[in-house]
Amino acid sequence: TTSADDRQFLNMLLKLINAKKTMEIGVYTGYSLLAPALALPEDGTILAMDINRENYELGLPVIEKAGVAHKIEFKEGPALPVLDDMVADKKNHGSYDFIFVDADKDNYINYHKRLIDLVKVGGVIGYDNTFWK
């Protein structure tokens, strides 16, 4: 999970880069999605991926109450196969303003190899706990 201070920083960053299309890999209960969903414009979107829908659904009532559920597309399962499909479709290249990864640390390099094609020039890819051992 990401701390409240980290989330505030990321929200400020989203606004500074005028992000509209974002992705988050590893969302757990969805708490981490609420703040960026609120920071995005009304037509902004978040592609959210996690291996466990049950955890995500624990936080879904809060997301719905905040009125931002329409901005979030949730995909359950391992992210790498989804990313492989996205990279295979050239129309996805350079289409994301911001991508945040808070998932299995051992795969960070594998995520990065795919995400580098999906983020637009001038976009941002952020990783939680990058000094993890």
For residue range 4-54, list pLDDT tens digits in order.
788 788 889 999 999 999 999 999 998 889 989 999 999 999 999 999 999
Query: Domain range for residue 40?
Result: 4-127
CATH number at residue 81: 3.40.50.150
Whether 132 is covered by a domain: the verdict is no
Query: Does a structural domain hold residue 100?
Result: yes
- What total of structural domains would you count in the chain? 1
| Domain-located, residue 46 | yes
Mean pLDDT of 106-119: 98
In a domain, 103, yes or no: yes
Instruction: Give the number of C-alpha atoms closer than 13 A to the C-alpha of residue 114, restricted to the C-beta side.
Output: 20
Domain-embedded: residue 133:
no
Compute the radius of gyration of the chain from its Cα atoms: 14
Whether residue 98 has pLDDT greater than 60? yes
- 54 in a structural domain: yes
pLDDT at 74 > cutoff 80: yes
Q: Closest by alpha carbon to 86, among 117, 108, 58?
A: 117
The answer to whether residue 63 is domain-embedded is: yes
